[in-house]
């Protein structure tokens, strides 16, 4: 655990403004809040060398994950993304970003042409925020990986995201999770997957979809021949024997 606060983030930002060699910066698991996010976002606007911002899950990338960034901080970051042409990965998992912050980031996605990977895992974003992000995904042409896990979203939020798959032609990996999604939410994704031809990896974990929801996805795979993997094995109320039965139906389940 590191102990960089907003003040420390300001010092880092000062160095970044004129840096021409650093391409990776890891700021995960600190105590950076909205003020620190503002300082770093302003530095990113001026610095053209940084290309990666890490998450708590990928040590080869740079991130603001595991901090205390809220909606205000998300707005600063979103403003920096509007015209940024070099940042390709942004991981903001396990912060305090809610629906308002999700809207700011969604607005940025409509303009940003460089970002290929966005992760918002374990932020308190609800159905309204999911709708904003889904609308952005309909129009974004560069994002290929999107991770969104929140126990605040339910079947309605899942429907927004699933509907976006009807129009989005660039996403190849989608990871979604939320304890309130359930079998109904899984059905929305299953319906979308029947006609989607670009998604390769679909993860629906910790979503309480049960065997009924899993069977909806199995039915969808009969029509979808482009998906490589459907990951549903964690925290979905599916017994190992039933999961094995699904794997026998289609080896793409895991």
Domain that holds residue 85: 1-127+147-152
170 and 91: one domain?
A: no
Identify the bridge partners of residue 119 per DSSP, sorted by sequence position: 91, 147
Residues 170 and 245 in one domain: yes
In a domain, 136, yes or no: no
- Segment 156-208, tens digit of pLDDT: 999 999 999 999 999 999 999 999 999 999 999 999 999 999 999 999 999 99
Banded pLDDT at 50 (limits 50, 70, 90) = low
170 and 120 share a domain?
no
State the pTM of this model.
0.86
In a domain, 138, yes or no: no
Q: Is residue 223 part of a domain?
A: yes
**Considering the domain boundaries, does residue 45 fall inside one?**
yes
Q: In what order do the strands lie in the sheet with 117-119?
A: 24-25, 52-53, 89-91, 117-119, 145-149, 173-177, 201-205, 229-231
Question: Within a domain: residue 135?
Answer: no
Q: Which of 106, 137, 152 is the last residue of a domain?
A: 152
Sign of the CA dihedral running 175, 128, 111, 85:
negative
DSSP-derived secondary structure letter, 113: S
pLDDT band of 59, cuts 50, 70, 90? very low
Q: What DSSP state is assigned to residue 175? A: E
| CB contact at 8 A, 132 and 158 | no
Residue 5 lies in a domain: yes
Q: Are 190 and 227 in contact (CB under 8 A)?
A: no
Q: Residue 32: give its domain's CATH number.
A: 3.80.10.10
Task: Quote the number of domains for the chain.
Answer: 2
Tell me, yes or no, whether 31 and 115 share the same domain.
Answer: yes
The partner residues of 205 in beta bridges, in order of sequence, read 177
Is 132 within a domain?
no
133 within some domain: no
By DSSP bridging, strand 52-53 and strand 24-25 are: parallel
């Amino acid at each position: 655990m590191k102990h960089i606060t907003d003040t420390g983030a300001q010092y880092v930002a000062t160095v970044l403004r004129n840096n021409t060699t650093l391409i990776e910066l890891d700021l995960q698991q600190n105590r950076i809040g909205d003020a620190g996010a503002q300082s770093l976002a302003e530095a990113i606007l001026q610095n053209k060398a940084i290309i990666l911002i890490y998450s708590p899950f990928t040590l080869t990338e740079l991130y603001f994950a595991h901090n205390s960034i809220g909606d205000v901080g998300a707005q600063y970051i979103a403003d920096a993304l509007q015209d940024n042409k070099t940042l390709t990965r942004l991981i903001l998992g396990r912060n305090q970003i809610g629906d308002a912050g999700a809207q700011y980031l969604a607005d940025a996605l409509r303009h940003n042409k460089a970002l290929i990977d966005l992760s918002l895992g374990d932020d308190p974003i609800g159905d309204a925020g999911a709708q904003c992000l889904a609308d952005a995904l309909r129009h974004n042409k560069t994002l290929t990986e999107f991770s969104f896990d929140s126990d605040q979203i339910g079947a309605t939020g899942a429907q927004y995201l699933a509907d976006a798959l009807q129009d989005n032609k660039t996403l190849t990996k989608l990871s979604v999770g939320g304890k309130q999604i359930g079998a109904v939410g899984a059905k929305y994704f299953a319906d979308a997957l029947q006609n989607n031809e670009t998604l390769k990896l679909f993860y629906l974990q910790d979503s309480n979809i049960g065997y009924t929801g899993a069977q909806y996805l199995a039915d969808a795979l009969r029509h979808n021949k482009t998906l490589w993997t459907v990951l549903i094995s964690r925290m979905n109320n599916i017994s190992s024997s039933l999961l094995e039965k699904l794997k026998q139906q289609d080896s793409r389940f895991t």
